[in-house]
Structure formats: structure tokens, C-alpha cells
Amino acid sequence: MTTHLTHWGAFEADSDGDRLTAVRPWRDDPEPMRLIENVASAQHHPTRVDQPYVRRGWLEDGPGAARRGNDPFVPVSWEKALDLLAGELGRVYREHGAEAVYGGSYGWASAGRFHHAQSQLHRFLNCLGGYVHHVNSYSLGVSQVLLPHVIGELGWVMQAATSKSVLAEHAELVVAFGGLSPKNAAVSPGGVSRHNVRGWIGAARARGCRFVSVTPLRDDSPAEAQAEWLAPRPGSDSALMLALAQVLDAEGLADTGFLDKYTVGYDRFIEYVRGTTDGIVKSPEWAATITGLAAERIRTLAREMAAARTMVTVSWSLQRAQYGEQPLWLGVVLAAMLGQIGLPGGGFGHGYGSAASLGEPARLFSPPRLPQGLNGVDKFIPVARIADMLLNPGQPFEYNGQHLVYPDIKLVYWAGGNPFHHHQDLARLRAAFARPDTVVVHDPFWSATARHADIVLPSTMSIERDDFGAGENDRVFFAMKAITRPHGQARDDYAILGDLADRLGIGKDFTEGRTVDEWLRHLYEEWRLHHSGHDLPDFDTFWASEHIELPVPDPDQVLGAEFRADPDQHPLTTPSGKIEIFSQTIDSFGYAECPGHPVWLEPEEWLGGPAAAEFPLQLVANQPRTKLHSQLDVGTHSQSAKVAGREPVRLHPEDAAARGLRDGDVVRIVSRRGSCLAGLIVDDGLRQGIAQLSTGAWYDPDPANPAFCRHGNPNVLTPDRPSSRLAQGCTGQLSLVDVERYEGVVPELAVNRPPATAL
């Protein structure tokens, strides 16, 4: 039996050397997740990449994008693949420079710190002179830009978040904008040791804490919460929050003492709320026409929030939409108006229920990791602008007050992650991927990104290699020994890049002469020496053990407690050192879609707008329940949720009946950008007017129409539109669609088998 760590939990496994013969949840996990069932069933699935491949057109005609995504692949030896790739890297760096290489590699890849795919690739490219990089993430692109202006760096907001144990003991009311999704709280970058979302919520509820879940989906909070479900129109949360602020102000419930001492700009904001600046009072009656909620319930909720120790938490989903800056900023403002930031059980949170790490008390230090070196290129893009970059080389764009220019990319190198999962408007992304000379991908599976590459190199899964790892803000640090041999000819990214580095004359720079085992020992012992004041075992003892526990200095941490106690000695990292309800910095950028204080802005695609006449359903493209993003979609647990082999879409019974649809039907979902097939589930657990289709189905485009996915990937439907010029964040959460029964013969899926090959 060997213990292993994944992004969705630790598990114990038995192996015959080639495959896992038994997989069980880690015995110390109080709320284990079934996602581990995908690991064993996916390891030797036909979609594993078994050896290196080169796209036939690239192999025969040289660099160029003709037929990329439709061409068959030619199996080649490792020697030939690495020789070809080394030659192409040399050509691009020599003829175009490092600014022509995009080291994408955005995504979760596999757990484990040394074999972290992005770190490996970025270290390699830095040894060559650098690469164009990305900033921010698809999950938190708005938060990473906005929060430093308003309350503090995102890392602080998340790592110093009030502990779940403190909420369980002290919170009297939790108002969760976007809910407290148990499926999202099942995962965390790098791993989860002990799941506890149901435990802390159940304990809080048993003590008398009330939960209000503000979301179009009833199951966005666990049963233990016994939550009151408020379901406003998606995209209207900022109107609801403004109305809550209006009641707090009008009824004298705002904590003016807190606002005066700890914030700046409240006077500018509240004039907008009162209607002084635009003639519109942001009252519950005003918000009722936008949200669809009863005005009186909005009014009483504001009073309840003021009368209780209240945690205002905003899920990551709300900022993954057009104008996503507004509800996130308003969450901070509401918490400030209540005056409870820095108090146990009250204040502001961002992401309880969005990831397992939120509310875990911060560990004293993080586990060791592979150094990436220095990037010699300073050009970058916000990560969600990759299609814009590839389609518009040399064109200007704005980001967070900066005026930038898209680089001209000749080579894309990806190891870890799958942009055809994360990105929106996949037909447009496919056109963008046709622009570079060469696309290189390391992947264990024939993902959509691998199928749109020129050179595909098979990489190992984490169960096939030695590593160590711990989840983000997780105190348990695991020794991750290889459980099986690699599938086919798969190699570790380190081995692949090490051989490439030797061919390019940078071998010593990249490997420093160390094997994997020597790197693990070196990184660990260097880390242990750096933290010599703590009782950390030597490497051999650690490696022989299952795990060690990292120290946690304050298990009862409260976000902003030091700031509240003494704002002069412990100022925030904002420009003023205080909470910025009005940001002079943001205001100076002159962005109409993100002014100096939060406002209500009507989205282009929502149920209250004119576009709903043509597309009368609001698509909610949330995270899946049976997998992490698109990882291991071919696994048994993920496949068990499919309907007719397609990703399931949920409709309210009245919406299904109005379209003559029945449970189990294969349906076609259509938007302005494309369409996809899905299997219908009729469910009253979502607001009427909603179509809920989770992300994660492997993109399976019709060969004649890349805007039509036969498998159910919602990102053929969603817009590739930035949140605003401030953050340039992803807006993949919401779009307008319609749903109809699919007539005719249901097309066969191609993603469950390897692509065509040619010898």
C-alpha cells in the first residue's frame, strides 16, 4: 500500500507494478471524495499518449499551421522527436528571439512540487533566454488585479482568511454570494489532505448559525447548511449588493465609526447609492426589478446582516463574468459597512466553497519547490487573452492602467494544463492556434490541446514518478513515491527537458548535474536547513514516512485582526493603507466599465437584457462534480455522470416542458458563438430560466464545424470577452443560450479514442 496526493485528495493504492489494483481514500480524510476513482481507470485508457508523435503536415512540410487540428499524427522515436524539437527551438530563438516563444503551460497539471510541469518548462525556457509569460489565472483573474487596489493582495486575502473553525464557533450569519459549493471545496491546487467543508458548516449550523446562499443553483451549498436559497438573475448580484448597502445607509445601520477609521472613499460611493450622482436611488425596489428578488426580502436581509455577527463571502464564480470586478468589490464594501472586518466570525471572505484551502489556517512556511530561474523577457499577457495575442500580434491593449502590445508568437510550448478547457469561444481559440509556426505539447492524454499541436510528447502521471507535495495552504506534506511504471513510452517532463537541454547546449544549466532523486534530496535538505529552527526530519526519515505536518502558528486566525487592532502599525497594502471603497488609482485609469467605486453595470448577455429575446436561457458554466476541470474525463467516475455519453445539462421542469423536452433527451445548446450536444437532466434545483452545463467535457469538434462540440463542452458557447480593461479577466461563467431537442442520428464521439495516425 502506498499513499499518494492529488488535487482532490490523498488516497492509498495497491499496485501490481503496471497498474493500480485498488484505490482507497486516505484513512485520515474525514470527508473523502469519489474523484479518486478516476485515477486507476484512466491510467491505461486508450487516450493515453503512448509514444512521441508529430503532425504529418509539420513533419512533411516544416513549421506552419496548415491542417493543424485535422491532420493525422505520425508516431516517431524519442530520438527523432527530440532532434526535431531541438532544431525548431534553435531556429525560433535564433531567428526571432525569446519574445517569439510563449511558455503557456497554464493549468493544474499533476500534483507534486518537483515534477510541477509549469515550473519544469519555465526553468528550461529561462535557460534558453526566456519566454513571453502570462499573469493571473482563469479562476481568479479579476481578484488578482482588483483586490490589491481595494483591500490587499489576493494571496493575503486567501491565506489569512478567517479559519473555518473560527466561523464554526463565532459566525451567526453567513451570506454566501455564489454559494458554498461542496464540489468546488473538494479540490485545491497541489492537493487536499483532510476535507472538512461539511464538518465546519454542520458545526456552525448546529450552534445556530444561519446560512443564506445567493446563487441560481440550490446545490451550491451542502445539505448541512440548511441554507435559505435566494436565486437572483445571474449577473445581477451587484444590484442586490447595492440595495443592501442602501438599506444599511438609509436606516442608520452602517458602522460609520469603522468606515471613518478604516476606509477611504465611502462618501463618494454612498452618494452614488443614494442617487445623488445619477438620480437613481439603489433601493430594494430598484434592485427587485433587476434581480427578480422581492424588495422586502432584500430589505430584511440587510437588517439581519446588521443585527448579527455576519460573514460576507463572495465565491470565485461571481468575478468570472463581464464586470466581475463589481460584485467582488461590493462584497468588501458590505463587510466594511457592517464594521466587522477583523472580528471572529464576521467580515469578508473570498472563496469559501470555491477551494478546499480557503479557511485553512496559514502554515508557517511552504514546502520546497524547483527554482525556475530568471526570465529574460518582460513581455506578458493576462492569461485569458491568449487568443487575442495569437490573432493580433503587434496590436495594443490595456491592462490595469498599462498600455501594452501583443507580441508576435512563433512557437507555443505547453506542459501541464489544457487551454481548450479553460478558454472561451473555442472556435476562435482554434483559429488562434492556427497562427504560430509550431505548437509543442507534453501531455499524458490526447487532450484537445495535444490534438491541436505539432509535436506531442507523452508525459507521466504523478502515480508513475517519485515526488513530494502539499496542497496550497495545507499543513500535510506528503512523500509521493511512484506506484507504477510509466504507461507506454511516457517520460517525466524533467527527463524530456533534460535531453532537450543537452541537445541545445544548456544541459548543465537546467539539470545542474542532478538526477530526480538527487534533486528531491537536495531541495528537501536545503529547505530543512533554511527552517532549522523547527523539528523537521532528515530526507531519509521523511521519505521512509508517509507524511509530515508543517507548523501552523495561529489555528484561529481572523482576516484583518491586526489591521483592526492598530491600522497605523499594521496598514493594508493598498495605496492608502486602508480599505478603498473609492480607489483614486482605478479612477485615474479612466475605464468606464470599471470606475473608481463599485457600480451596477448591465451585462451584454443576461436575462434582463434585449439579447434574451433570441437566447432566453442563461447558461451557467460552473465547475464539474465528477472531475477536476477536464482532468481524467475518461475515468469511470466522470463517465458515470454522462447522459447518452454527453456532459449533462440541467433545466428547470418548466423550461424543459416549454420546449417539449424530457429527462434523458440528447439536446442541442446554441449561443451566438456555437453549439454543443448534451444529455438532459430535468431538475427543480435551479432557478427557472437557467441551463446549467459544467465545464470539463473534452472538446470534440465536428470536423466540418469547430464551433459545434459533440461532447458538451460549454466553452464553444461562452464569449471570449474580458471582464474589463482593468483586469482583462475570464468571463466564462455566464452566457445566453437556447436549448432544443437534437434531431437526427446522434454523432459518434471521437475524444474517447486516439486521433488518426499515419505511418
Give the C-alpha separation, 359 to 557, whole Å.
9
Tell me the catalytic residues. 106, 108
| DSSP β-bridge partners for residue 311 | 174, 347
* 442-460 residue pLDDT tens: 999 999 999 999 999 999 9
Output the CA angle 519-523-525, nearest 5 degrees: 115
CA nearest neighbour of 543 among 473, 470, 471, 477: 477
User: Any idea which residue has 482588483 for its cell?
Assistant: 146
Distance of CA 50 to the CA centre of its chain: 28
Which of the four CATH numbers 3.40.50.300, 1.20.1250.20, 3.30.43.10, 3.40.228.10 does domain 161-361+560-589 have? 3.40.228.10
Q: Which residues of the chain have pLDDT under 50?
A: none
Model pLDDT, residue 67: 85
Model pLDDT, residue 598: 98
Instruction: Give the H/E segment covering residue 736.
Output: strand 734-741
Q: Is the CB of residue 61 less than 8 Å from the CB of residue 55?
A: no
- C-alpha distances in Å from residue 252, one per residue of 84, 303, 306, 581: 71, 10, 10, 18
Give the C-alpha separation, 581 to 593, whole Å.
16
* 180-201 residue pLDDT tens: 999 999 999 999 999 999 999 9
Give the C-alpha separation, 277 to 257, whole Å.
24
Give the C-alpha separation, 603 to 451, whole Å.
34
Query: Residue type at 604?
Result: E
Model pLDDT, residue 1: 76
Q: Which CATH class is domain 610-741?
A: mainly beta
Model pLDDT, residue 66: 79
Distance of CA 576 to the CA centre of its chain: 30
Model pLDDT, residue 65: 77
CA nearest neighbour of 501 among 519, 516, 488, 513: 513
Q: Is the CB of residue 528 less than 8 Å from the CB of residue 539?
A: yes
The grid cell for 724 is: 474589463
How many residues are there in the chain? 759
Model pLDDT, residue 107: 85
Q: How many CB atoms lie within 10 A of CB 464?
A: 20
Distance of CA 136 to the CA centre of its chain: 10
Domain spans of the chain, in order of start: 48-137+367-549, 161-361+560-589, 610-741
The grid cell for 124 is: 528550461
Sheet holding 20-25, edge to edge: 2-6, 9-15, 20-25
DSSP per-residue string spanning 644-659 = TTB-EEEE-HHHHHHT
CA nearest neighbour of 69 among 461, 402, 439, 616: 439
Model pLDDT, residue 269: 98
The widest CA-to-CA distance across the chain, in whole angstroms, is: 77
Model pLDDT, residue 565: 98
Distance of CA 144 to the CA centre of its chain: 12
Q: Does domain 48-137+367-549 have CATH number 3.40.50.740?
A: yes
Give the C-alpha separation, 390 to 454, whole Å.
16
